[in-house]
Structure 1
Amino acid sequence: MNEEFCDRFLLFYEVTNPEPRKRSFLKTCLRFLTIASILCTTIAVTGAYLLYQTIASDLPDISQLREVKLQVPLAVYSEDEQLIAQFGKKKRIPIPGNRIPKKLAEAFIAAEDHRFFSHPGIDYKGLIRAGVQLIRTGKKRQGGSTITMQVARNFFLSPEKTYLRKIKEIILALEIESQLSKQEILSLYLNKIYLGHRAYGIGAAAQIYYGKTVDQLTIEESAMMAGLPKAPSRFNPVTNPERALKRRNYILTRMHNLQYLDQKELDQALEQPVIARIHSDSIELHAPYIAELVRQKMVKKFGPHSLTSGYKVYTTVKSELQIAARSALRRALHEYDERHGFRGIEAQSGLAATASEGDILERLKGFRKVGDTLPALVRAVNKDSIDVRVLGKERTHLAWDKMTWARKYINQNEREALARSPDQVLSIGDIIRVRKGRTGNWRLAQIPEVSGALISLNPADGAMVALVGGYDFYRSKYNRATQARRQPGSGFKPILFTKALEEGFTLSTMINDAPIVYMNPWTDEEWRPQNYSGKYYGPTRLRIALRKSRNLVSIRLLRQIGIEKVAQTAISFGLPTDQVPRTLSMALGSGSATPLQMARAYSVFANGGFLIEPYLVSRVETLDGELVEEAFPRIACPHCGDLSSGNNMFAPRVVSPRVNYLMTSLLQDVIRRGTAVRANRLGRKDLAGKTGTTNEQRDAWFNGFSPALTAITWLGFDLPKPLGKGETGSRAALPMWIYYMEKALEGFPEEKSRVPKGIETLYINQSSGFLTSASDPEAVPELFREGFVPGQRNSETVDANRLSDETENDQLESLF
């Protein structure tokens, strides 16, 4: 319409006007078009500005990137800085910008944004190319995003693919480029990107795919990692090695074209095969029960975000002692398990002796390593051995003497007759479990049904130096060292004897070991406690009574002292009030305690009489090394005298030096000549402890110490039931303690106890407990406190032994 009007106007103008008028009209049209163009441009610019302002007002502050906190797992370390565990869904190892290898950075630039150092945050050519593709095909094309735009998206935007998000990316990228250097942007990108298998950032990816740090990566490994951001699954070198190889070689060629590699480097890199595989976390010390304790503590104190804030937690655990503890527990549980027979194979595969290796591995895939045991398939049964294929190992061979223990299990006290040859135990195709013995040879095994725990403390300050809460954490996360409240049995008796000494009894005091019958006046039920042997030994010195763990002496002793007095002493040793019963059965350990609580109690004897507070975490640091928490434990100081009284630096004294010295002597006697005599194989004179066994052998304990270490071992079923005939603390739990202390005390010189003032050694008659001369054929030396030396007639003994059962029943009736 405009053209028709101009033509008519021009014709009229030419007829009625000369040539100058024609030039005036052209000028008017040109002016009209110019004004229209300016107006349209102004409207477009104004609209774009208003759109920018609208979008920009909703965008985050770019300055946040300078203080960005990447999600970094919580790391747990031993005292000697061995990595125990990492917590957090995202695996990330932040790498400072100045430590990013040049070739690794160049590989990512070649793969993702080769104009990175020249564009202002937006690659106009790439955006135009993507726009043309959209016009031609009607489909959004991946690409056109610079590294800066990816930083904007990864830190500030959602992953949805919309035009609005792309506009936001562009605006944010321009802002980022105006505030951060290229090196800062590249560092943010390389530490943030997802690279598959839960790896976020180049540090985690290098560890997961190659088991290396970034500075150890080769050129081809760097190129392989650089191919992952585009499609972490499709170009993954573990799950899709062929596609990953093509992508890697493409990136290597790009690096060469961009002059990042010379021809020789390219040729060498292209020749390398794909060697990536999944490397487990670089765990240096296996201590999952400890790791879980730390995780719970951190969440409780700092909240759930503590798992992703990069905290570094340093524990008091000593790696060598932790390894010894785990080995000791597993060995003891297997030994108990083998004493009670073979419960049978895991499964029958149905495979013949001629089965292929592939079929065998396929059958074994459904079974995993548990504790020290590995699944294995029987390939051949020979006259004096079997051939097996162990999961993850080569074909190997089990000698007959490594399976002779496998008498068929009937119950805790019975097994079938001893088998005479391997074919009476196993058949071809059986899936079994095997483990390495102490000599390094494979032996038949099974997963122990019985449970156990071991906890070890530094008695001077309460530091937990080793803790194992069960056979296999991944099979049962229940931490028996800290959670299992079980009857301590005779392990409680040293607390009772401590109170007896404080009340004026001596180590030579005679107490009658004779039958006792107590009646419950409300139920008319009888309680007839017995010694473990079922025998009675008459008047018995306190030293012998504890050495031999005489139950009836302990009950009479408790009666004479008073139940509440002994209960308060138990509480002063750190046992919770609600776990200390107020009945005569307390003398036999009928209350409850966890192994950790028993370790705290026995540390009193080990450290000279002080109640320490167990602790696990020595310090907590941020990712940047800032100290946020540090432990300052109260220490036991037996030689500080009055300086320790009322001083918050020192643990409170709960047992006097002289009583503690006498109790240590008693507990050393348990090892030298008593129920723990097996521990003499350690060849040390500074060891002390007490066995513990509960009714029907439901719990087996050994509570022991040296001046340097306290260690408690426990063995039993999670759902309490008898361990079997003869499975006492001495037989079931003491070996675990011996295995641990044998390794743990290496490097600790033997320590001789200091004799406190006020202790003297006198001769007594071992039959009567009275003072005597050295010439007496029955004379034995005994320790006494000054002021508590018996005279020629032991009045305590006479009073104790004159009590009839009727008198005891009358006096004790009110206790039930």
Structure 2
Amino acid sequence: MSRVIGYFLLAGFIILFFSAAGCATVDPEQAPDIAMPSKIVDINNKLITTVAPVNTIPVSLDEIAPAMQQAIVAIEDERFYQHRGLDFKGLLRAAYQNLRSRGIVQGGSTITQQLAKNLYLGPERTLGRKVKELFYTIKLERTYTKKEILNMYLNRIYFGQGAYGVEAAARIYFNKSAKDLTLGESAMLAGLPRAPSYYAPTTNPEGAKERQKLVLNRMRQLGMITEEAKKQALAEHIQPRTKPQVLQQAPYFVAEIIKYFTNKYTNGLEMLYANGLTIQTSLDLDMQKSAEEALEQGLNQINEEINGALVAVDPQNGYIKAMVGGRNWQKSQFNRVLARVQPGSAFKPFLYTAAVASGYTAASTIYCEPVTYQVAGAEPYAPRDHKIGYHYRPFTLKQALAISDNVVAVRLADMLGPDAIVRYARAMGIESPLRPFLSLALGTSEVTPLEMATAFGPLANQGIRCQPVYILKITDSAGRILEEQKPQLAKVIDEKVAYIVTDMLKAAVQPGGTAARIAWLFPRPAAGKTGTTEDYTNAWFVGYTPNLVAAVYVGYDDKQKKVGLTGGDIAAPIWGQFMQAALKDTEVTDFLAPPGVVQAEICTMDGLRATPLSGDTMSAYFIQGTEPKVPCLGDFGWTKPTDAGEGVRDWVENPAGRQPP
């Protein structure tokens, strides 16, 4: 009787098989339609992430531990290397049970059958779908070797926790690559596909251990391992991750890469998900991790609600080396590196660059006193300094920039004209709309952290601006280059001007400057500028060395809330921690003075040449021929006025200057 049933079943399957072959929509004689996710790698070819609808990291068979290959065969399809895709004994047994139950209640699927189902068929559980599965199974076996089939299977099977493929699973559960899996770990992973949510070692360690034991026993029965190897694997201490790893690193940066493809190509997402591209980027993963740690640690000193951003750019080529658009991608995908906010006094270097290029020098002096400007259609504008209002004394431009004097900045902006500030900011890299008011000198127009890092680049790079670069090269699965981006350079300011302003900004990170604490956090030659908005809503620090520029922004997304700290208090320490970690393995270098620049010692009170009788002096750099020639008279050349409105000398030096670009 059982033999008769078997014949009928076999005949029925033959009829259904050829019917399924006739309506098959895919030809496995050709390469199967296997989506090949694209890889995004950093500048050193380290994998950042794969771009796919699911977490998957394809690897070749030789990148998978042999123990893992054996374990999956032992538990899923022990006769894999003997059959031609179908295990008829298991198939007939499953078919008999399914017919009795009038439904699909038992599976006898081989590894090839499971692969065929994943590649070509949907999730429905019908007899017709099962027969199509057999058709595709036979086609796969005729087209591919056993190793190729096993490789495809191990790259597609679901292991739970969002991991498709053994490489993703190994990283999620054990924080290692599939090639480094031990026998014990391999057996534990091999037990997952049957019921990933139940046997997951992160949620059910007892169940996972029992399943591992079953796999190891089966491997021993099949002669794949020795009894001693089995015992060692069972005794192996396996500590799976209690919290699954987030496979995507640098998520804000990756989002910009994906946006680039969707904006440039009509089928951009399809290209990324299925074409197996390799996108080499400018990012440096080590710097990225340092940036994430520095920002998180700095923000933690305030509270959990405050947010921020950090972006680092190589000023010599424009490569974006690190990008942290916020402290938690899972909570907010808003990239603050590209968000416009007021930079406060961090904007002042563009004013001082325009001034030096127009003929002012680091020794030019401007008096800090009450001053009011009439503004058409608005209330009169009266700038004040932070906390104290006015200093009632003259400052050299170098001093004024170091201590971030607002009154001096606005008076200088009035002498130059706001349009000059706009022209220089534009030339150096600011693209956001800028309002040409006197208050622009104090950073009242909104800009992005990336713009600020880019625009400080010419000061670090001898006056040469570099356009920011995300992507270096895109290659297809065959290694053909589809795109390659080269640095875009432009000379925007004179190298002598860049060096003089850099020397002025060095004073800001030294004792007496607004970011003095950086001197011990980052004991290297550096220059930079703090920024704090008038209402303490935003805090900034933008600084640089000869080979790296970084901008740090701190603020709440809800602009009704105030940071309550200055850029020197919160943003500068984040910058210092990041830079120290990012450049720890690089040679210490200083900014090189170009030909035509000379150094001179000047008096701080009048900007004249210092003498042995001079009291408070400072070093400054000048375009050759503009350095002060007249000696100062020490502390006898200036007397503090007794009243703010009386006895004020005209300390403003306003030479006929060169025109801004």
TM range (shorter): 0.7 to 0.9
Give 1:164's aligned residue.
Answer: 128
Q: Distance in 2 between matches of 1:235 and 1:228?
A: 6
Q: Relative to 1, partners in 2 of residues 1:777 and 1:261: Cα closer, same or farther, differing over 3 Å?
A: closer
Larger radius of gyration: 1
Give 2:537's aligned residue.
Answer: 698
Deviation at 1:665, TM superposition (A): 2.2
Q: Relative to 1, partners in 2 of residues 1:622 and 1:279: Cα closer, same or farther, differing over 3 Å?
A: farther
Between 272-281 and 159-168, report the one with greater CA deviation: 272-281
Q: Relative to 1, partners in 2 of residues 1:624 and 1:93: Cα closer, same or farther, differing over 3 Å?
A: farther
1:653 correspondence with 2:491: yes
Give 1:738's aligned residue.
Answer: 576
**Superposed counterparts of 1:367-378, under 5 Å:** none
Q: Distance in 2 between matches of 1:210 and 1:743?
A: 27
Give 1:616's aligned residue.
Answer: 470
Q: Distance in 2 between matches of 1:183 and 1:765?
A: 79
Deviation at 1:609, TM superposition (A): 0.9
> Sequence identity, in percent?
33
1:325 correspondence with 2:179: no
Q: Deviations over 1:722-781 (max 9, x none)?
A: 7477x3333333333333334444344443443333334567665444568777778876
Q: Distance in 2 between matches of 1:739 and 1:452?
A: 15
Q: Deviations over 1:162-215 (max 9, x none)?
A: 232233233333333333333333333333333333333344344444545444
Do the aligned partners of 2:432 and 2:447 also contact (CA within 8 Å) in 1? no
Q: Deviations over 1:479-528 (max 9, x none)?
A: 32332x222222222211221222222333333433222334435x2222
Structure 1: 5+ residue stretches without partners: 1-43, 338-446, 635-650, 795-799, 804-816
Match of 1:188 among 152, 169, 172: 152
Give 1:458's aligned residue.
Answer: 314
Do the aligned partners of 1:328 and 1:737 also contact (CA within 8 Å) in 2? yes
Give the aligned residue type for 1:601: A
Deviation at 1:571, TM superposition (A): 0.9
**Superposed counterparts of 1:110-129, under 5 Å:** 110-129=74-93
Q: Distance in 1 between matches of 2:211 and 2:393?
A: 87
Q: Distance in 1 between matches of 2:651 and 2:181?
A: 84
Q: Deviations over 1:87-144 (max 9, x none)?
A: 5453334343455555544444444444444444333333443444456555545234
Match of 1:679 among 518, 527, 548: 518
Q: Deviations over 1:558-596 (max 9, x none)?
A: 222222222111111111251x11111112221121222
Do the aligned partners of 2:348 and 2:409 also contact (CA within 8 Å) in 1? yes
Q: Relative to 1, partners in 2 of residues 1:759 and 1:281: Cα closer, same or farther, differing over 3 Å?
A: same
Q: Secondary structure of the residue that 1:57 maps to in structure 2? A: helix
Do the aligned partners of 2:344 and 2:531 also contact (CA within 8 Å) in 1? yes
Q: Deviations over 1:361-398 (max 9, x none)?
A: xxxxxxxxxxxxxxxxxxxxxxxxxxxxxxxxxxxxxx
Give 2:439's aligned residue.
Answer: 585
Q: Distance in 2 between matches of 1:755 and 1:667?
A: 14
Q: Relative to 1, partners in 2 of residues 1:306 and 1:657: Cα closer, same or farther, differing over 3 Å?
A: same
Give 2:333's aligned residue.
Answer: 477
Give 1:467's aligned residue.
Answer: 323
Do the aligned partners of 1:328 and 1:740 also contact (CA within 8 Å) in 2? yes
Deviation at 1:606, TM superposition (A): 1.2
Q: Distance in 2 between matches of 1:99 and 1:773?
A: 72
Q: Distance in 1 between matches of 2:65 and 2:589?
A: 53
Give 2:113's aligned residue.
Answer: 149
Give the aligned residue type for 2:334: Y
Q: Relative to 1, partners in 2 of residues 1:155 and 1:605: Cα closer, same or farther, differing over 3 Å?
A: same
Deviation at 1:84, TM superposition (A): 4.4
Give 1:57's aligned residue.
Answer: 22
Q: Secondary structure of the residue that 2:323 maps to in structure 1? A: strand
Which structure has more relative contact order (CA 8 Å, sep 6+)? It is 2
Q: Deviations over 1:417-449 (max 9, x none)?
A: xxxxxxxxxxxxxxxxxxxxxxxxxxxxxx343
Give 1:290's aligned residue.
Answer: 253
**Superposed counterparts of 1:259-658, under 5 Å:** 259-261=223-225, 277=240, 287-301=250-264, 303-305=268-270, 308-309=273-274, 310-335=276-301, 337=302, 447-483=303-339, 485-523=340-378, 525-532=379-386, 533-576=388-431, 578=433, 580-620=434-474, 628-634=482-488, 651-658=489-496
Q: Distance in 2 between matches of 1:653 and 1:575?
A: 15
Give the aligned residue type for 2:571: A
Structure 1-normalised TM-score?
Answer: 0.66
Structure 2: 5+ residue stretches without partners: 1-9, 633-648, 653-661
Do the aligned partners of 1:608 and 1:661 also contact (CA within 8 Å) in 2? yes
Deviation at 1:622, TM superposition (A): 5.3
Q: Secondary structure of the residue that 2:162 maps to in structure 1? A: coil
Do the aligned partners of 1:285 and 1:319 also contact (CA within 8 Å) in 2? no
Deviation at 1:656, TM superposition (A): 0.7
Q: Secondary structure of the residue that 1:696 maps to in structure 2? A: coil
Q: Relative to 1, partners in 2 of residues 1:321 and 1:621: Cα closer, same or farther, differing over 3 Å?
A: same
Do the aligned partners of 1:299 and 1:306 also contact (CA within 8 Å) in 2? no
Q: Distance in 2 between matches of 1:253 and 1:762?
A: 82
Do the aligned partners of 2:315 and 2:465 also contact (CA within 8 Å) in 1? no
Q: Distance in 2 between matches of 1:260 and 1:682?
A: 57
Deviation at 1:605, TM superposition (A): 1.0
Give 1:412's aligned residue.
Answer: none
Give 1:758's aligned residue.
Answer: 596
Q: Distance in 2 between matches of 1:475 and 1:548?
A: 37
Q: Distance in 1 between matches of 2:492 and 2:596?
A: 18
Q: How many residues are aligned here? A: 623
Q: Secondary structure of the residue that 1:155 maps to in structure 2? A: helix
Q: Relative to 1, partners in 2 of residues 1:802 and 1:521: Cα closer, same or farther, differing over 3 Å?
A: farther
Q: Deviations over 1:228-286 (max 9, x none)?
A: 444445555665666666665555555455444556656766x6589584566666996
Do the aligned partners of 2:556 and 2:563 also contact (CA within 8 Å) in 1? no
Q: Relative to 1, partners in 2 of residues 1:552 and 1:281: Cα closer, same or farther, differing over 3 Å?
A: same
Give 2:636's aligned residue.
Answer: none
Q: Relative to 1, partners in 2 of residues 1:583 and 1:52: Cα closer, same or farther, differing over 3 Å?
A: same
Give 1:361's aligned residue.
Answer: none
Q: Distance in 2 between matches of 1:731 and 1:559?
A: 30
